[in-house]
Amino acid sequence: MKVLLLNGSPRKEGCTYTALSEVAAVLNENGIETEIFQAGDPARENVKAAAEKMKTADALVVGSPVYWASPSGQIIEFMDQFVSMAGKDLEHKPAAAVASARRAGTTATLEVLTKYFNFYQMPVVSANYWNMVHGNTPDEVRKDEEGLQIMRILGRNMAWLLKCLEAGKNAGVEIPETEEKIKTNFIR
């Protein structure tokens, strides 16, 4: 099993990366492969490369720094393209959002990122608090003991859910049948 983790910061190994690394370490301890993908560059070819990786990934984690109390512009631009490219490869796969901030705007950031998961029927994985770390530098994030604990619990919960889904599949539990989408545009 494999989890794709998107780092939505232009800083390759900054605070968001530090948080995602903690999630990845716990997933690895549970026998799950991980890849942290640099999604701070929303160029089409880069998004395409991530969408390609989603074909074989069993779950998704999207991390973003907080910019102006919202996700980074880079990850919004990235995700807008990524979800339409990855489409069916997202459906019914567990997902989680992670935010990194100096101080404020984390819950708004998590809400925006979670909306992509809701649209694609992805079970949303949580921890024992909202998935956030605090700091302006990786060293500050490493001192955020509560934040790092949230990341570890998130990783364990994701590993547990992935194993439950696999056990269910092996026991014959099928993905629910779908319906053709009805789009009413609020017109009666």
Ligand X SMILES: Cc1cc2nc3c(=O)[nH]c(=O)nc-3n(C[C@H](O)[C@H](O)[C@H](O)COP(=O)(O)O)c2cc1C
Which residues contact ligand X (rule: CB under 6 A)?
9, 11, 14-16, 65-69, 100-105, 135-136
DSSP 14-26: SHHHHHHHHHHHH
Q: How far apart (Å, rounded) are the C-alpha atoms in residues 174 and 186?
A: 33
**Minimum distance between the CB of residue 100 and ligand X, rounded to whole angstroms?**
4
| Least gap, CB of 65 to ligand X (angstroms) | 3
Instruction: Provide the minimum distance between the beta carbon of 99 and ligand X in the complex, in angstroms, as a whole number.
Output: 8
**Least distance to ligand X from the beta carbon of 82, Å?**
18
Q: Which residues, 6 or more positions from 21, have their beta carbon under 8 angstroms from its beta carbon?
A: 36
Instruction: Decide whether 105 or 155 has the Cβ nearer to ligand X.
Output: 105
- Least distance to ligand X, CB of residue 158, Å: 20
Q: By C-beta, is 66 or 165 nearer to ligand X?
A: 66
Nearer to ligand X (CB atom), residue 90 or residue 133: 133
By C-beta, is 71 or 159 nearer to ligand X? 71
DSSP per-residue codes, 148-177:
HHHHHHHHHHHHHHHHHHHHHHHTTPPPPP
Q: Give 9 or 34: the residue with its C-beta nearer to ligand X.
A: 9
User: How many residues can be counted in the chain?
Assistant: 188
Q: Which residues contact 78 (CB under 8 A, 6 or more apart)?
A: 6, 8, 39, 40, 41, 42, 46, 47, 50
Residue nearest to ligand X (CB): 14
8 A C-beta contact, residue 146 and residue 115? no
